[in-house]
Amino acid sequence: MKLIKTFFIIIIILFIVYFLSMNSATADIDLLFKKFNNVSIAMIIFSTLSIGILFGYILAVFSVLSSKAKNRSLQNKIKSLSDELNDLRNVAVDENIYEKDGVN
């Protein structure tokens, strides 16, 4: 499975490189804090794609870590409740309980 996934990633990267090499036009970029003149459109596409992948990866890592922490917490809760249930099952029942109430 990893080999197939790696193969498709390589194909996608080659497609992106081919697509970026076709664009030789330049553009001006005006960010809030800096202005860039005569930047290749290929570099703009590549950098925005890279930044998007990086942010997506970071969000996915935090999501996975959060899910694992929640799973671990729930497993601990299940274990403690299971131990409590086993303790309650093993408690000896006092046969004199009903005699005190006068029920016999």
pLDDT in tens, 6-35: 888 888 888 877 777 777 788 888 888 989
Would you state the pLDDT for residue 11? 87
The residue behind tokens 């969000």 is: 59
Q: Is residue 75 part of a domain?
A: yes
Query: From CA 94, how far away is CA 1, in angstroms rounded?
Result: 60
Q: Is residue 80 part of a domain?
A: yes
Q: Is residue 95 part of a domain?
A: no
Q: Is residue 97 part of a domain?
A: no
CB 29 within 8 A of CB 39: yes
Q: Is residue 96 part of a domain?
A: no
pTM of the model: 0.58
The residue behind tokens 């942010």 is: 55
Strand (E) positions, the chain? Answer: 26-30, 35-40
| Structural domain count, the chain | 1
Q: Is residue 98 part of a domain?
A: no
* 33-44 pLDDT, tens digit each: 989 898 888 788
Domain limits at 37? Answer: 2-90
CB 44 within 8 A of CB 28: no
